[in-house]
Structure 1
Amino acid sequence: MFGKTFVDQYVVVTGGGTGIGRATALAFAEQGAAGVIITGRRGAALEEVAAEHEALIPVVADVTTPEGADAVVAAVSELGGQLDVLVHNAGIFRNTPLDDLGADAVREQLEVNVIGPVLLTGRLLPLLREGGNIVLVSSISARLAGAGSSVYSASKAAVDSLIRSWAVELGPKRIRVNGVAPGQVETPILGSGGVSPEAVQDWYSVYAASAPAGRIGKAAEVSSWITRLAEPASSWITGEIITMDGGKLLV
């Protein structure tokens, strides 16, 4: 199905146990990557994904902490100390009205969605080879207002800023930085944010009805663009954020 675009390359995918992270890790593995480190907090989910391809390497780590980031660095070092692609996919969503927001709810989303990518990138930068790639998963929520999602939207706007700033800062090192901004995708993120299964389906239906494409997205559709941004054919693209939302932002 896939070409062997990433032969002999090493990849890190955060949040690799489910959804877009899982699809992305498998896509890199199927395209020939020598090793794909998948990180997350839940070991069972990582082990389940790792069983799907021999190139997948599970590392239980909370990358919002120095200890978690260092565990990922150690895993890369065990593979020879060279990293070719870093994908920041780990993220959380909390649907919380403003009058119910407390410091802990704000802090949790900013830690996972913003602090984690900053901390891990800083730790891994010495191992990221010249010509390497960083891809961050943002969201159309960075540009789309939504009741109850103000902190999530703010965190993704920060991710967009990281993409552009890092592209400028790391360009002289010949490291490219890009992102994808999906709309509603069928992943566990809404349910993990405290939304009931019935409400999740309602959410999907409302989104599908309002998007020109008439449906929500699939994780594999997002992962295909993550790998595309990291491949040699995209070597003149940096600082870009690919919107993939079925046209939602157009209406």
Structure 2
Amino acid sequence: MAGKLTGKVALVTGGSSGIGLAAAKRFAAEGASVYITGRNQPALDAAVAAIGGNVFAVRADSSVPADLDKVYAAIRSRSGKLDVLFANAGVAAFVPLGMINAEHYDGIVNTNLKGVLFTVQQALPVLSDGASVILMSSTAGFKGMPAFSVYSATKAAVRQLARSWLLDLKDRKIRVNVVSPGMVDTPAIAGLVGEANAAGTKAHVSSQVPLGRIARPEDVAAAALFLASDDAAYINGADIPVDGGAGQI
């Protein structure tokens, strides 16, 4: 039985861990040839082994346009096209107003906004007509959070990119959609709040979610798969929250 992405070529940026790795696994399991990117070669090698199927890794930093050129050159040479682009790579850090410096601002904006913009723009020559572009946003893009203003602003901006790009790309019938997770159970939580605080933070956030838990990477990957597939052929410009209902209360 054919999978939902049989015959398609997909790219997942930031695909060596967390949500990106889960999405790459789903895409490959559904028949896609999958490319993943990341900054760390050993992590990429481990991800390729974990994903299985027809998967290729390219070491690249999404905030560096020259690295993106390398990614798309590899896709063009090996596959000749790109049908699904999941611009997933992102970074986060808590810094309150009054302590924000240029290093924090540049680090977040360069990956989460500049990186997304050029990931999509540089893909255009290889993107198939009718392709699916999926952008990673966050519930932080529409909810206020203390000490998270720069990150939140980039995620709100990503949502607006989708609204504009679906018009820029309408003649090619390329769909542009967004997924907006709440907290997701990945190692990034410990990176944000510290290893000692990770369990307590997850428990607290879970208590605020109507479904009683935070998301798993596989929950977000399932939403990305829907948007990547022909099941979402008439879905364009949507923002799908993957937050257990927390954003609705």
TM-score of the superposition, structure 2-length normalised? 0.96
Q: Which amino acid aligns with 2:204?
A: V
Offset of residue 54 of structure 1: 3.0
Number of the residue aligned with 1:51: 49
Residues in 1 aligned to 2:164 and 2:187: alpha-carbon distance in whole angstroms: 30
Residues in 2 aligned to 1:134 and 1:64: alpha-carbon distance in whole angstroms: 18
What is the aligned-residue identity percentage? 35
Unaligned runs of 5+ in 2: none
Number of the residue aligned with 1:37: 35
Number of the residue aligned with 1:7: 6
Alpha carbons 2:22, 2:217 under 8 Å: kept = yes
Number of the residue aligned with 1:18: 17
* 1:229 equivalent in alignment to 2:227: yes
Alpha carbons 2:208, 2:246 under 8 Å: kept = yes
Offset of residue 227 of structure 1: 0.8
Offset of residue 192 of structure 1: 3.1
Offset of residue 189 of structure 1: 2.2
Number of the residue aligned with 1:167: 166
Residues in 2 aligned to 1:245 and 1:39: alpha-carbon distance in whole angstroms: 25
Number of the residue aligned with 1:198: 196
Residues in 1 aligned to 2:127 and 2:4: alpha-carbon distance in whole angstroms: 18
Number of the residue aligned with 1:215: 213
Number of the residue aligned with 2:136: 137
Residues in 2 aligned to 1:248 and 1:62: alpha-carbon distance in whole angstroms: 32
Alpha carbons 1:13, 1:89 under 8 Å: kept = yes
SS state at 1:51 partner: helix
Residues in 2 aligned to 1:92 and 1:217: alpha-carbon distance in whole angstroms: 18
Number of the residue aligned with 1:67: 66
SS state at 1:125 partner: coil
Q: Which amino acid aligns with 1:211?
A: V
Offset of residue 207 of structure 1: 0.8
Alpha carbons 1:92, 1:192 under 8 Å: kept = no
SS state at 2:205 partner: helix
Offset of residue 114 of structure 1: 0.7
Residues in 2 aligned to 1:191 and 1:96: alpha-carbon distance in whole angstroms: 16
Alpha carbons 2:16, 2:43 under 8 Å: kept = yes
- Against the structure 1 CA distance between its residues 202 and 30, is the aligned structure 2 distance closer, same or farther, given a 3 Å change threshold? same
Q: Which amino acid aligns with 1:173?
A: R
Residues in 2 aligned to 1:3 and 1:151: alpha-carbon distance in whole angstroms: 43
Offset of residue 8 of structure 1: 1.5
Offset of residue 3 of structure 1: 5.5
Residues in 2 aligned to 1:140 and 1:60: alpha-carbon distance in whole angstroms: 29
Q: Which amino acid aligns with 2:53?
A: E
Number of the residue aligned with 2:176: 177
Residues in 2 aligned to 1:158 and 1:3: alpha-carbon distance in whole angstroms: 37
Number of the residue aligned with 2:147: 148
Residues in 1 aligned to 2:228 and 2:16: alpha-carbon distance in whole angstroms: 20
TM-score of the superposition, structure 1-length normalised? 0.95
Alpha carbons 1:50, 1:56 under 8 Å: kept = yes
SS state at 1:126 partner: coil
Offset of residue 198 of structure 1: 2.1
Residue deviations 1:73-98 (CA, integer Å, cap 9, x gap): 11111223200000011110101111
- Against the structure 1 CA distance between its residues 246 and 125, is the aligned structure 2 distance closer, same or farther, given a 3 Å change threshold? same
Residues in 2 aligned to 1:84 and 1:44: alpha-carbon distance in whole angstroms: 27
Unaligned runs of 5+ in 1: none
Residues in 1 aligned to 2:91 and 2:11: alpha-carbon distance in whole angstroms: 19
